[in-house]
Chain A
Amino acid sequence: MKKFFAQAYLWVVLIVMYAPIIVIAVYSFTEAKVLGNWTGFSFNLYKSLFQGGAGQALTSALINTLIIAVISSTCATFLGTFAAVGIFYTRHKFRKNTMNALNNIPILNPDIITGISLFLLFVALGVNQGYVTICLAHITFCTPYVVLSVMPRLHQMNPNTYEAALDLGATPHQALWKVIIPQVRSGMIAGFILAFTLSIDDFEVSIFNLGNNGLETLSTFIYSDARRGGLSPELRPLSTLVFVVVLLVLFVVNIYNARAARKKQ
């Protein structure tokens, strides 16, 4: 009985949580300009999304978003992994705490603060905002999560393996690449995926650091489109696709992780 109510509660909340996106997904298969009018089943919105017209600006925003996400999450993964190794092996208490505290700032800072502070930095330095500044901004808020994903793997690692490599004749450089990096690889992958999704999702940091050369990411495009009161119907299939892709990736990763964890036990 208790279990029935518990399950019922879960499902009610779940349905409410997923209701908006389900509505959008359903209405992405009809052509009506206004959401709520069902004018018969059609794939036309999906077609126009990928075939110019209103969709063209949207497609270019989508491509920008992906390029920015790939560049910044790759950079963040390397920067963050080396940083995690560096922090992990810092014996000096004060330096270690400083690094950890600095690393936490972008996580704790609201995105709007991160966005504005970087905007003011670039303004103060007289840097033209564009691809470079937005990538730097994304690396700034993604890297801390990579550090936090890699850190637990370093803790799990047998501390003697690095020494064993040195002992067997590897230089510190070789030991890092042949012994430490392979052992934290799963943390790097997790960090990369997290950084990638964070970058794709970001809106508040991006809007301040895009500059005014017409560069748009998906989020900023949706925002300005919605502000113009337009809400292009193409947003429906796009939102649906984004949602489905992100959910699929996360679902697969989580199931995979849960399996791996169970296998370990």
Chain B
Amino acid sequence: MEKHIIDIRNVSKSFGEHKVLKNINLYVKKGEFVTILGPSGCGKSTLLRCIAGFEQATEGDILIDGKDISDVPPHDRPVNTVFQRYALFPHLNVYDNVAFALKIAKVGKDEIRKRVSKVLKIVGMTDYEDRDVLSLSGGQQQRVAIARAIINRPQVLLLDEPLAALDLKMRKDMQMEIKEMHKTLGMTFVYVTHDQEEALTLSDTVVVMNEGEIQQIGTPTDIYNEPANAFVADFIGESNILDGIMLEDKRVHFLGKDFDCVDEGFEKSEKVDVVLRPEDIYILYAPNLAGQFEGTVTSCIFKGVHYEMWIVTDDKCELMIQDYNAFEVGSRVALIIKASDLHVMKKERLTNTFDAVMVDSNHVEFLDTKWECLPQEGISGGEEVKVHIPFDKVDLMDTVEDGAIEGEVRFILFKGDHYHLRVRTTSGNKDSIYADTKYVYDDRDLVGIKILPQDIEIER
């Protein structure tokens, strides 16, 4: 059995009412390069801070090298951190910054000198010992921060979005250097980022997180080719995600047609999500006998290596396609999808479901609000019930006051002919409701949420 250097067991973390981490289970093997990937606010930095000891997990255990470290203060943990904005000590020069840990540990002067010049050599900053850290460029500060963190030879190096503050070119160079350093040092790296490309380039294992939960753990290729759900598919790379229905094993219906696929093990007629990577759709001028379906090109933009085109299919669904050849706007095209290129995913939820309490015969309370519903026979006030609301029955109002409650758009998924949104309510427990809409919203838009009485289905 391979050795687990970090073992995270059932870890949850709340700030007051707000749950930031929800039952996280994760292990890291010795010497591995693990990346925790997710959008901002998904809890990835909090998880890292729990490992470093700056935050205490509300529940669960964290083991490092087999030892439970929940009660060990940060300065006694065998991990070191490279911080997002470097966090170099502005009152110390490069040498004193790097030597900080050794001076605290009361290591002898000669030993300190030797080890500082060694790590400065590793990060390529040999001639900068006496420089004021604030006079360094972002990339140089980053190198010093890494040198400072690895001088103690920690068992695990934690990197919290270390490249986020650098410009694109610098970021690419540093990515390669960090990968190189990981090889030479042989340490375990736990790397947090919101940049999916960075995660795929650097890591042995990618952990995708959203809303405080792990969505998928896998190698970069697995994550890209076999996303576990719509969130991962949308977050990693470009993709078209469409609603479909599984007809039988290896046969799926979407875009009004039946397609062969390689996925099995779904219920008959189960509603599913279908992922099509834009580079996996073959495009030819119509008419073409080989085409499985047809569409019209609505836009075509040159992206450097390939062209990115938007196609409207005959049943009014929009698809993004990448191809080395340009197809003129307005031209009819034929499209082919190979069975092995389409990926079918189980839907995480088919409808909104909430725990609710009946107020009286035609009012029910959920999402911290009283809603009007159709008169319910035989259910008395105060009784606990479940309510179901279909995604397309949740009306979003541009004017917040027009809705019964206020919500903030937090996740937008384009499904070809409509948008699937997650709207987080701004009051109470900040629970989320999912909505399908034809209209375009931006992330963080404030909307009013309205649900008609007849659309609230109540179940005892």
Determine whether A and B are in direct contact in the complex, meaning some CB atoms lie less than 8 angstroms apart: yes
**Pick from B73, B84, B90, B152: contact of A168, CB under 8 Å:** B152
A164 at the interface (CB under 8 A from B): yes
8 A Cβ contacts from A137-186 to B: 158, 160-161, 163-172, 174-175, 178-179, 182-183, 185
* B83 and A166 form a contact (CB under 8 A): no
Question: Mask for B75-114, Cβ within 8 A of A = 1, else 0?
Answer: 1100111011111111100000000110011000000000
* B148 and A168 form a contact (CB under 8 A): yes
Decide if the interface of chain A is mainly helix, strand, loop or mixed: helix
Say yes or no: A182-B91 contact (C-beta < 8 A), given A164-B81, A166-B73, A169-B105: yes
B54 at the interface (CB under 8 A from A): yes
B52 at the interface (CB under 8 A from A): yes
* A160 and B80 form a contact (CB under 8 A): no
Number of A residues near B (Cβ < 8 Å) is 20
Alpha-carbon separation in the docked complex, A168 to B101 (Å): 5
Which B residues lie within 8 Å of A166 (CB)?
53-54, 73-75
A167 to chain B, nearest CB (A): 5
Which B residues lie within 8 Å of A185 (CB)?
91
Which residue of chain A is the closest to B83 with respect to CB atoms? A160
Which B residues lie within 8 Å of A178 (CB)?
100, 104
* A163 and B91 form a contact (CB under 8 A): no
* A169 and B89 form a contact (CB under 8 A): no
* B100 and A165 form a contact (CB under 8 A): yes
* B87 and A160 form a contact (CB under 8 A): yes
Say yes or no: A163-B87 contact (C-beta < 8 A), given A169-B152, A170-B75: yes
Alpha-carbon separation in the docked complex, A172 to B81 (Å): 17
* B84 and A161 form a contact (CB under 8 A): no
Say yes or no: A179-B89 contact (C-beta < 8 A), given A163-B74, A166-B75, A171-B75: yes
Which A residues lie within 8 Å of B84 (CB)?
160
* A158 and B75 form a contact (CB under 8 A): no
Alpha-carbon separation in the docked complex, A238 to B83 (Å): 56
Alpha-carbon separation in the docked complex, A185 to B149 (Å): 26
Say yes or no: A158-B74 contact (C-beta < 8 A), given A168-B148, A169-B152: no
8 A Cβ contacts from B35-55 to A: 52-54
B165 to chain A, nearest CB (A): 12
Which B residues lie within 8 Å of A158 (CB)?
85-87, 90
Alpha-carbon separation in the docked complex, A175 to B152 (Å): 17
Alpha-carbon separation in the docked complex, A163 to B84 (Å): 12
**Pick from B73, B76, B89, B152: contact of A164, CB under 8 Å:** B89
Which A residues lie within 8 Å of B73 (CB)?
166, 172
Chain B CB count within 10 A is highest, among A158, A169, A182, for A169
Alpha-carbon separation in the docked complex, A164 to B160 (Å): 12
Alpha-carbon separation in the docked complex, A201 to B89 (Å): 37
* A164 and B87 form a contact (CB under 8 A): yes
Number of B residues near A (Cβ < 8 Å) is 26
Which residue of chain B is the closest to A182 with respect to CB atoms? B91
* B83 and A164 form a contact (CB under 8 A): yes
Alpha-carbon separation in the docked complex, A172 to B87 (Å): 16
Which A residues lie within 8 Å of B87 (CB)?
158, 160-161, 163-164
B227 to chain A, nearest CB (A): 33
Which A residues lie within 8 Å of B88 (CB)?
161, 164
Alpha-carbon separation in the docked complex, A175 to B75 (Å): 10
**Pick from B79, B83, B90, B101: contact of A163, CB under 8 Å:** B83
Which A residues lie within 8 Å of B81 (CB)?
163-164, 167
8 A Cβ contacts from B63-81 to A: 73-76, 79-81
Which B residues lie within 8 Å of A168 (CB)?
75, 80, 100-101, 104, 148-149, 152
Which residue of chain B is the closest to A168 with respect to CB atoms? B101
B415 to chain A, nearest CB (A): 40
Alpha-carbon separation in the docked complex, A183 to B84 (Å): 19
Say yes or no: A167-B80 contact (C-beta < 8 A), given A158-B85, A160-B85, A174-B104: yes
Alpha-carbon separation in the docked complex, A250 to B148 (Å): 40
Which A residues lie within 8 Å of B152 (CB)?
168-169
* B89 and A167 form a contact (CB under 8 A): no
Which residue of chain A is the closest to B76 with respect to CB atoms? A169
* B75 and A183 form a contact (CB under 8 A): no
Alpha-carbon separation in the docked complex, A164 to B84 (Å): 11
* A167 and B91 form a contact (CB under 8 A): no
Alpha-carbon separation in the docked complex, A161 to B54 (Å): 12
Which residue of chain A is the closest to B85 with respect to CB atoms? A158
Which A residues lie within 8 Å of B53 (CB)?
166
Which residue of chain B is the closest to A160 with respect to CB atoms? B87
Alpha-carbon separation in the docked complex, A179 to B87 (Å): 11
Alpha-carbon separation in the docked complex, A178 to B104 (Å): 10
Say yes or no: A167-B75 contact (C-beta < 8 A), given A182-B91, A183-B90, A183-B91: yes
Alpha-carbon separation in the docked complex, A164 to B146 (Å): 12
Alpha-carbon separation in the docked complex, A178 to B75 (Å): 14
Which A residues lie within 8 Å of B52 (CB)?
163, 167
Which residue of chain B is the closest to A170 with respect to CB atoms? B104
Alpha-carbon separation in the docked complex, A163 to B85 (Å): 12
Which residue of chain A is the closest to B15 with respect to CB atoms? A91
Alpha-carbon separation in the docked complex, A6 to B106 (Å): 63
Alpha-carbon separation in the docked complex, A182 to B93 (Å): 13
Which residue of chain B is the closest to A179 with respect to CB atoms? B89
Say yes or no: A167-B74 contact (C-beta < 8 A), given A160-B83, A160-B84: yes
Which residue of chain A is the closest to B80 with respect to CB atoms? A167
* A169 and B91 form a contact (CB under 8 A): no
B354 to chain A, nearest CB (A): 30
Alpha-carbon separation in the docked complex, A185 to B53 (Å): 28
Which A residues lie within 8 Å of B148 (CB)?
164, 168
Which A residues lie within 8 Å of B100 (CB)?
165, 168, 170, 178
B147 to chain A, nearest CB (A): 12
B199 to chain A, nearest CB (A): 22
Q: A158-B87, A163-B52 are in contact. List 7 more A-B contacts (CB 8 A).
A: A160-B84, A163-B54, A163-B81, A164-B87, A165-B100, A166-B53, A169-B104
The 8 closest A-B pairs by CB, nearest first: A160-B87, A168-B101, A182-B91, A166-B74, A160-B83, A164-B87, A169-B104, A167-B81
Q: 18 interchain pairs (CB within 8 A)?
A: A158-B90, A161-B87, A161-B88, A161-B90, A163-B52, A164-B83, A164-B87, A166-B54, A167-B75, A167-B80, A168-B101, A168-B152, A169-B76, A169-B101, A169-B152, A178-B100, A182-B89, A183-B90
Chain B residues with CB under 8 Å of chain A are 52-54, 73-76, 79-81, 83-91, 100-101, 104-105, 148-149, 152
